[in-house]
Amino acid sequence: MSTNPTDRVIPTWFITGANRGLGAAIARAALRAGFNVVAAARRPASVEAALGGDHAGKLFAVALDVTDAAQVRQAVDGALARFGRIDVLVNNAGYGQLGPFEEIADEAIRTQFDTNVFGLMQVTRAVLPTMRAQRAGQIFNISSVGGLAGFAGASVYCASKFAVQGFSASLAPELAPFGIRVTSVSPGFFRTDFLDNSSIRYGDQGVADYADASSALRSQYDGYSHQQAGDPDKLADALLAVAADPRPTVHFVVGADAMDITRQELDRVQADIATWADTSAATAHA
């Protein structure tokens, strides 16, 4: 898939959650590269405020709640009517449900999965017929290092991101025959508003045994908010480089912290395999 705007066909990027954070940074990078950008968010006015202007007609802001099937279809149809194709899909919309598992209500868990998992799948389903017809495309599913390693106080959020990892890893070989690449993007901590109240929700089912842990979790993330080491603009530039690279990879772990955490988790998995290797190997029929 060519992502060079000097080619005859200008690539079109469809980005969800494009009004702030990583989504806005990716949209800005794509626009700087000369690409068409469909910037989707619940409030299109917030996209225009974040990105400014129409960038010589290359920016198309659309209303999109990824959990609304009709709105997903309308947004994709609008993108195709405007630009005629979708070359890159960035499934970025999402938020974090944090807190000890027992303090998070069932409804809150379902809402987390509706956005982070089922909404992502819904947008992907709407875009795939176009990419299959093109016999080309790139899908970036924005996961998290929390989709590769678990963190205390983030069981629900991590479960949703582990689901994104599994979906991406399984979808990649399904779509490869059609020239469509799928990459799960696993950032570490990047300096966005992800850790403030606009993107984080905490469990509200207070359990006394978790009082200290819940308080410490909030203090930890409040203190880290807007102090993260990762630069969203550099992540966005890296994503454009991955899209242009001919080597398809299912995983893109982004940030020195994310790479360190992932390596440590892989070491733990290898150690666990070794611990039970003999017992595990003895489970086949005689």
> Which residues are known catalytic residues?
143, 157, 161
Specify which residues 252 forms β-bridges with: 185
Q: Is the Cβ–Cβ distance between 189 and 228 less than 8 Å?
A: yes
* d(C-alpha 39, C-alpha 14), whole Å: 6
**Tokens representing residue 76 in the block:** 């994709």
Show the tokens assigned to 42.
């619940």
- The pair phi, psi for residue 100, each rounded to 5°, is -55, 140
Taking a C-beta distance cutoff of 8 angstroms, is the pair 252, 183 a contact? yes
CA 156 from chain centre, in angstroms, equals 16
Neighbours of 91 (CB within 10 A): 29
CA distance 71 to 64: 6
Query: Where are the extended beta strands (E) located within 188-272?
Result: 200-202, 251-254
Would you give the DSSP letter of residue 20?
S
